[in-house]
Structures are given as structure tokens and as C-alpha cells.
Amino acid sequence: MNQYIFLQRIQGPAMLLTFGVCALLDQWGILNFGRSWPLYLIVLGIIKLAQRAALATAEPPPFQPGYGYAGYQPVGAAPGAPVSAPAPADSGISSTSDSGDRR
């Protein structure tokens, strides 16, 4: 599994675990629950830094020339068929017809 995806999936459980530990420490009288907000920022910051590091070391996806983005296949094209550049659309403006008044 990709390390970035793993870190992204573990972010929620890590925050929930931090919240639970702070609630437990509040019940024991060790840490006031209202003053534990910096701990949440520290845990979230560590996870975000780890995600950035994992994303920086990840291999980019392979480039396949001639293929467009799979979500934007032309209408009627076979799946997996190479996508060509669209033809320029006719704007309807002809350079030979002059019907406007230019000042």
C-alpha cells in the first residue's frame, strides 16, 4: 500500500485516539481537557508532515503518450482508445462578410 494513502487513512483514528487519551487524563486529573487543544494541533501537524514526506518520495504515475484522462473520453469512443486533440470549432464568423459599421 502507498505510504501516503496509509497516513491519510490513519489520520482520523489517530485524532480519535488523542481525544480519548486527553479525556482519560482529564478524568484522572492529570491534564485539564480545556487546555489540551495544543496536543491536537501537534498530532495533526506530525501526521501532515509525514504525509508530505511520503508524497515527496512517491513515484509519479507512468506517462502514457496519446492517452487522455479516462474520465473524459469522447462520446462514442471505445474505452481505452487513444484520445486525439479536438478539431477547432467553427465560430460562425466569416472574414469575407462585412455587415457591421466600424468607426
Residue 35 in any domain: the answer is: yes
Number of domains, the chain: 1
- Segment 10-25, tens digit of pLDDT: 999 999 999 999 999 9
Distance from C-alpha of 73 to C-alpha of 71, rounded to nearest angstrom:
6
Residue 95 in any domain: the answer is: no
Residue 64 in any domain: the answer is: no
Residue-level pLDDT at 55: 86
Structural domain containing residue 44? 3-57
Helix, strand and coil in the chain, % to nearest 5: 50, 0, 50
Residue 103 in any domain: the answer is: no
- Segment 71-85, tens digit of pLDDT: 555 566 666 666 555
